[in-house]
Amino acid sequence: MSDHCAEMGEPVVRSHLRLVGDWRDEIPMGTTKWRQFSGMPDNEPTELSIFVRGRVNVAHAMTAADHVRLLQEAERLDGYEGGYAQINGPINPGIFYRYPHNQIIRWTKKRVTDKEILLVRNVYVDFDVADSQERVSGISATDAEVAATWGPANECRRWLERELGRESVGFGCSGNGHYVLIAVEPISPTDDTTKRIALFLEMMNKRFGAPGAKVDTSVAHPNRLMPAAGTLKAKGINTPERPHRRITFTCSPTIQRVPLEVLA
């Protein structure tokens, strides 16, 4: 089986065909590779956010193995809609006295905040379906809508690989769009780092945004979440026209982190 989870070729648009097919061991392969790219050691705890029937649940995964297991358990919950992970860390260790370890717990209005993220290690460039009068929240995108994000996202990926090196850039399908992830040298989050990332996202949107696809410029803060690699994005009813899809991720076997300053 290939280590690469994301389909790199241009997707075929067919209403009855999912852009991202199922594969064996989705969560272990996708999550483990994503953690490595994101700079998370196997023994680093993190907070997961799991949406069930519109309500937030949290899980404090204390190791990489727990991270994978909890995402697998989440998918089996009745009403599961999606699992999300922190893109940065480590997290202030005091946070992990808030909830029982390695369990999925109903949210009590306390999740990780910007000030509790100790290091910025990734920049998340999320290409989503552009807003339109027909766009409805809380449902899966059509194959055509997802395909509209592939071209701009892939063009962005290739440009960044030329500028930064292939070893610094990850790529994947977010379920309703596509995304690029950039591995940056760990740096303490400040107002300046947030402004730099926000400026960079604005630049990417101006350069690569296109009809039907836009870069989400609101994901510059340190505590940003992204769909957990390997999991199912299960918004709304699963139909041939708007299917639930796996979150994919691919990157180079070797990872090279770049200074944040080279981005903006």
Single out the residue of 179, 156, 164 nearest to residue 233, CA to CA.
179
Single out the residue of 233, 203, 41 nearest to residue 140, CA to CA.
233
**Ramachandran angles phi, psi of 128, nearest 5°:** -115, 165
- Tokens (6 digits) for 104: 């999925």
Residue 77's CB is within 10 A of a number of other CB atoms, namely: 15
Q: How far is CA 221 from CA 101, 111, 185, 254, in A?
A: 25, 14, 16, 27
Residues of the chain with confidence (pLDDT) below 50? 1-8, 12-23
Please tell me the predicted confidence (pLDDT) of residue 9: 53
Residues 197-228: tens digit of each pLDDT: 999 999 999 999 999 899 999 999 999 999 99
Instruction: For domain 26-262, give the fold.
Output: DNA primase, PRIM domain (3.90.920)
- Tokens (6 digits) for 3: 């280590």
- Tokens (6 digits) for 88: 């940065």
Delimit the domains of the chain by residue range. Answer: 26-262
CB distance 14 to 144 below 8 Å: no
Q: Counting Cβ atoms within 10 Å, is residue 136 exposed (0-12), middle (13-18) or buried (19+)?
A: exposed
In whole angstroms, what is the distance from residue 213 CA to residue 131 CA? Answer: 8
In whole angstroms, what is the distance from residue 106 CA to residue 55 CA? Answer: 8
Single out the residue of 185, 155, 175, 202 nearest to residue 258, CA to CA.
185
Residue 46's CB is within 10 A of a number of other CB atoms, namely: 24
CB distance 245 to 26 below 8 Å: no
| Residues 6+ positions from 59 with CB-CB distance below 8 Å | 47, 48, 50, 70, 74, 99, 102, 103, 104, 105
Please tell me the predicted confidence (pLDDT) of residue 10: 56
Please tell me the predicted confidence (pLDDT) of residue 27: 86
**Ramachandran angles phi, psi of 232, nearest 5°:** -95, 130
- Tokens (6 digits) for 191: 């107002």
Please tell me the predicted confidence (pLDDT) of residue 264: 80
Looking up tokens 């299917």 gives: 243
In whole angstroms, what is the distance from residue 107 CA to residue 132 CA? Answer: 32
In whole angstroms, what is the distance from residue 263 CA to residue 198 CA? Answer: 11
pTM of the model: 0.91
- Tokens (6 digits) for 254: 């070797």
| Residues 6+ positions from 109 with CB-CB distance below 8 Å | none
